[in-house]
Structure formats: C-alpha cells, structure tokens
Amino acid sequence: MRAALHRGLVWVLLLLTVLFVCVPIVFVVVTSFNEKGIYLIRTGYQLSLHWYESLPKAFFSSFKVSLVVATASSAIALVPGIMAAFVIVRGQFPGKAMLTNLFLSPLILPLIVLGVSYYRYFLVVYDAAGVSLLDSYWGLILAHAGFTWAYVVRAVVAGLENFDLHLEEAAADLGAGRLYTTLRVTLPSIRPSIVAGTIFAFMISFDDVPVSLFLYSTRTTPLPIELMNYMSDNIDPYLTAMSSLTVFFSIALMVVVERTVGLRRFVGLREISA
C-alpha cells in the first residue's frame, strides 16, 4: 500500500516535470494551427493552415540568412576546431592547460560580451583596412565561427580521448605516413564526435541572439532577431506559425542527431545506459 502510494507520487511528480518541459513548445505549435488566433481559450479552436499560407516574406528571408550564417560559420570552425582538439589531447608543451582553457572559454563567457567585442573589432578593422564586415554576411559568419568553434573543439576532444592509439600504430607499422594515417584512420574513427561538434556549432549559431544583435543589418537579419523584433511590436498567429516551423526544423535536426551520433552521446551521456 505504501509502496503503491510512493510509486504513484513519483509518477505524478514526473508527469508535472515533463509537462513543464513540453508545455510552452507544444502550446506554440497548437496555437499556430488555430484559425481564430492565439487566445484559443476565449475564442475556441478551429484547425487550419490559414496563418501558414500568408506568412510575412521577411520571415523566410531571415530563415535563409540564418541558414547561410550557421552553415558557413560551422564549416569555417570545423578544421581549426579539429586541429585545436589534437593540440589539446596530444600536444606536450608548457602552458597547455592555459591554452586549453582559452580554447574552451567561449562555452562559458557571456555571449553579449562577445557580441559587443565583435562589433568594436569590426569597427576597428574598418578604420584600419577599410573592409566593412558589419554590413554583410561576413561579419556574422566570422563572429559565429569565432565562438561556436569551441563546441567543435569540446566534442572532438572527447572523441580523441576515447580513440584507441593502437589503430594509428598499426597503420604506421603497415607503412602509412602520418598525414595519411590521420586522414584515413584517425579522423574516420572519430567521425561521430566531429559530426556532433559541427551540429552543435550549427545549432548555437542558428539560435544566436546576443552576438548577432550587434552585427546584423536590415539585409542580413537572422531569424531569431527577426522574430524578436517582430515580437516587441505584436504577438500574433504569424509569429506562432513561423515559430512552429522552426520547431519542426529543430525536431528534424534532432532526428538526424539520433540517427548519426545518438542523442546521448551528443549531450555527453554516452557512458550511461539509461
């Protein structure tokens, strides 16, 4: 009797927690399919695609901006990120611990501080060299690459730490050169970590507000900024419809992650068989 009561209590608590986690996202999606607007409790619910059919064009161009910036920045961060991970795991030189902290520090620093720093940096670059990065995609892309690369570094470090060095020795014994061994043996066997790091970098860039806030222009407004600006004027069903589209996009990304590297490895819980 007491055990049953205990178990019941656990499940109620669990249900409430899961409800808390899911409710805001589910409610946005549910609202977006209501022809009568966002106050569905007062107006009633009528399923329709009405709001999706006439979404503001600015949403789509912003979606494209975010896609371009996130793809380009994670691509740029990829190779230096892998190199940094090799240095961290295998390099032996004085000051390595400090360098490791420096490489990984974008993971913990306030992004707003990085945002204003890139803004000032690009102003200084303009004054010195006459290259304007603030009015083009390049400012956003380079800034995003500069801080999302730490996610690549962290993931690849984890992969390299679990890599079996005997594989490299075997390749060397068979006469493979160092570069060949790295490209054909080491990198392919840590591919899941590389994929995980790149997807993480892509996600962080795609969702970013505090850095983009100082770097975007009217022609290059990333989607989160566009939604935020729209939201400060009014909250309407177009907003929930576009938000739902990004939720579907996120879920698709999550499925890709589960299929390629596995969700648990992605979030760093690989060793736990929950």
Q: Which of residues 112-171 bind other proteins (CB under 8 A)?
A: 112-121, 124, 142-143, 145-147, 149
Give the count of residues interacting with other proteins (CB under 8 A): 86
H-helix segments, the chain: 2-32, 40-43, 50-53, 57-90, 96-104, 111-129, 137-161, 166-173, 178-181, 187-189, 191-207, 223-233, 237-260, 263-266
* Nearer Cβ to other proteins (57/122): 122
**Contact range with other proteins by CB under 8 A, out of 54-62, 102-110, 169-177, 187-195:** 102-110
Nearest distance from residue 272's CB to other proteins, in Å?
A: 5
Q: Does 86 bind other proteins (CB under 8 A)?
A: yes
CB of 93 to other proteins, least distance (A): 6
HSE of 63, CA atoms in CB hemisphere, 13 A: 14
Can you tell me whether residue 267 is helix, strand or coil?
coil
Site string for other proteins, 243-262 (x = CB under 8 A): x--xx--xx-xx--x-----
**Cβ 214 vs Cβ 118: under 8 Å:** yes
Mark residues 180-219: x for contact with other proteins by CB under 8 A, - for none: -----------------------x--xx-xx--xx-----
User: In whole angstroms, how large is the CA radius of gyration of the chain?
Assistant: 23
Does 22 contact other proteins by CB under 8 A?
A: yes
| Site membership for other proteins, residue 234 (CB under 8 A) | no
Interaction residues for other proteins, span 24-83 (CB under 8 A): 24-25, 27-28, 31, 38-39, 41-42, 79-80, 83
Give min distance, CB of 258 to other proteins, in A.
8
Please name the residues in contact with 268: beta carbons below 8 A apart, sequence gap of 6 or more.
Answer: 158
* 47: helix, strand or coil: strand
Nearer of residues 183 and 235 to other proteins, judged by Cβ: 235
Find the shortest distance in angstroms from Cβ 178 to other proteins. Answer: 8
Compute the residue count for the chain.
274
**106 contacts other proteins (rule: CB under 8 A):** yes
Query: CA-to-CA distance for 264 and 5, rounded, in angstroms?
Result: 32
Among 55, 111, 176, 195, binds other proteins (CB under 8 A): 111
Tell me the CA end-to-end span of the chain in Å, nearest whole number: 28
47 DSSP β-pair partners? 34
